[in-house]
Amino acid sequence: MVHDLDQLKTDLLGSIDAAAGLDALEVLRVHALGKAGAITGLLKTLGGMSPEERQTEGPRIHALREAVTEALARRKAVLERKAMDAKLASETLDMTLPADGIAPGSVHPVSQVMDELAEIFADLGFAVATGPEIETQWYNFSALNMPETHPARAMHDTFYLQAAEGEEAHVLRTHTSPVQIRAMHAAGGQQPVRIIAPGRTYRSDSDATHTPMFHQVEGLVIDKGITLGHLKWTLETFLKAFFERDDIVLRLRPSYFPFTEPSAEVDVGYSLVNGKRVIGGSEGWMEVLGSGMVHRTVIEAGGYDPNEWQGFAFGCGIDRLAMLKYGMDDLRAFFDGDVRWLRHYGFSALDVPTLSGGVGA
């Protein structure tokens, strides 16, 4: 038995080291360790041995199995590395070949508009702030003056995530307004805040002008002595820069938002050109923004004293801004991934955001 085990080990290890490919190695594995394999057969004989024989032969058979298993693993790693090297050698790419036949990629209109917004507001002294897309209900609702019983919560078709036992369910944020609270907390309640917060938001809605996931940008200013006039000037300057027209006319209508008081819907004038609405002029009015002075409750939730600090906030859909500026008709096409649409409306990677030279340029 001793001689047979030693000879079997020598034969198996030699065959494994000589295996020329992964298929041949698999044949050897089945021959040694398969259901009808040589080593498997030896393990089955342990049950018919006497306790003395089992104590002697058992460790030697198990050692043989371990040695063969390790040899198979080492050889497999060597063969896989050789196969990968051969594959890489056969798939070399000649970088000197012309790339005329390769269609270039494009920058999505939403990404382009986000860059434009960052450029414009940077020139106005705003920083870009971000926050989590999975939010607590406190940041998404309560801190924004929407307690559990507030009817404003019913205005959002919210995606609630499954909560662990004893915990409150988190939500996919319904707006980027929670970033305003986080930015105020980061400032410690003692410093002015000037931020925009672009990002993804989520609501259960889908049609030509609404999608379950869309993009918003929020703006927030917290300082001393802030008035509604500062808000109107900021929005007017922003829209003139974004649409690249000097004939932008704004109209502020009283409205209601839980987190601002007073609140105002912002309409922008448009003209009809060949039957289409073009931003600029005042032949008609189109709602583009929601805005207002930050509510005292929200200022307190952000850690500021509302008797000393005031602020304004505004928000709008980035996808809607892209549609108005670049002429898209259906919001759903933004997320279809249709290459033809992307080629038509996409931007070159080397395109710079509008007014990159500054709002005053």
Same domain, yes or no, for 66 and 114? no
Per-chain mean pLDDT for the chain: 85
Can you give the pLDDT at residue 334?
84
Please compute the mean of the pLDDT values over residues 60-89 and round it to a whole number: 88
Please compute the mean of the pLDDT values over residues 105-115 and round it to a whole number: 87
Q: Of 6-20, 55-69, 81-95, 230-244, which one has max mean pLDDT? A: 230-244
Same domain, yes or no, for 218 and 249? yes
Residue 200 counted as domain residue? yes
Same domain, yes or no, for 44 and 133? no
Q: How many CB atoms lie within 10 A of CB 352?
A: 13
CB 325 within 8 A of CB 203: no
Scanning 220-287, the segments in alpha helix (DSSP H) are 228-243
Can you give the pLDDT at residue 360?
39
Same domain, yes or no, for 338 and 281? yes
Can you give the pLDDT at residue 155?
61
Residue 19 counted as domain residue? yes
CB 221 within 8 A of CB 230: yes
Residue 249 counted as domain residue? yes
Q: What is the Cα–Cα distance from 133 to 199, expressed in whole angstroms?
A: 8
Same domain, yes or no, for 83 and 117? no
Can you give the pLDDT at residue 3?
54
Question: 12: left (phi > 0), else alpha (psi -120 to 50), else beta?
Answer: alpha
Same domain, yes or no, for 130 and 177? yes
Can you give the pLDDT at residue 99?
66
Residue 100 counted as domain residue? no
Same domain, yes or no, for 113 and 83? no
Examine the pLDDT at 81 and tell me if it is beyond 80.
yes
Examine the pLDDT at 198 and tell me if it is beyond 80.
yes
Examine the pLDDT at 58 and tell me if it is beyond 70.
yes
Can you give the pLDDT at residue 238?
93
Which CATH number characterizes residue 148's domain? 3.30.930.10
- The residue among 182 and 278 whose pLDDT is bigger is 182
Q: Of 43-57, 135-149, 204-218, which one has max mean pLDDT? A: 135-149
Residue 350 counted as domain residue? no
Same domain, yes or no, for 210 and 292? yes
- The residue among 309 and 11 whose pLDDT is bigger is 309
Q: What is the Cα–Cα distance from 32 to 66, expressed in whole angstroms?
A: 11
Examine the pLDDT at 19 and tell me if it is beyond 80.
yes
Can you give the pLDDT at residue 210?
67
| Final residue before a domain boundary, out of 54, 89, 124 | 89
Can you give the pLDDT at residue 358?
40
Q: Hey, what are 77's tokens?
A: 């790693």
Q: Where in the sequence is the domain holding 25, given as residue range(s)?
A: 2-89
Examine the pLDDT at 357 and tell me if it is beyond 50.
no
Can you give the pLDDT at residue 314?
95
User: Cis peptide leading into 132, omega within 30 of 0?
Assistant: no
Residue 97 counted as domain residue? no
Same domain, yes or no, for 146 and 244? yes
Can you give the pLDDT at residue 206?
65
| Final residue before a domain boundary, out of 27, 55, 89 | 89
DSSP type of residue 52: H
Q: What is the Cα–Cα distance from 74 to 26, expressed in whole angstroms?
A: 13
Q: CB-based contacts of 214: which residues, under 8 Å, 6+ apart? A: 200, 201, 202, 203, 317, 318, 319, 331
C-alpha angle with apex 154: 149 to 156, nearest 5 degrees? 130
Q: CB-based contacts of 350: which residues, under 8 Å, 6+ apart? A: none
Examine the pLDDT at 354 and tell me if it is beyond 70.
no
Give this prediction's pTM.
Answer: 0.66
Residue 190 counted as domain residue? yes
Please compute the mean of the pLDDT values over residues 184-195 and round it to a whole number: 92
Residue 295 backbone phi and psi in degrees, to 5: -65, 145
Q: What is the Cα–Cα distance from 52 to 49, expressed in whole angstroms?
A: 8
- The residue among 291 and 274 whose pLDDT is bigger is 291
Residue 281 counted as domain residue? yes
Place of tokens 């020598």: 10
Specify the number of domains making up the chain: 2
Same domain, yes or no, for 84 and 164? no
Examine the pLDDT at 208 and tell me if it is beyond 80.
no
pLDDT grade, residue 261 (50/70/90)? very high
Q: What is the Cα–Cα distance from 274 to 271, expressed in whole angstroms?
A: 10
Can you give the pLDDT at residue 265?
94
How buried is 262 (Cβ within 10 angstroms: 0-12 exposed, 13-18 middle, 19+ buried)? middle
Q: Hey, what are 84's tokens?
A: 């990968």
Same domain, yes or no, for 119 and 211? yes
Same domain, yes or no, for 181 and 313? yes
pLDDT grade, residue 51 (50/70/90)? confident
Q: Hey, what are 338's tokens?
A: 């249709």
Rounded to 10 degrees, the C-alpha dihedral 312/315/318/321 comes to -80
Q: Is the C-alpha dihedral spanning 51, 55, 59, 61 positive or negative?
A: negative
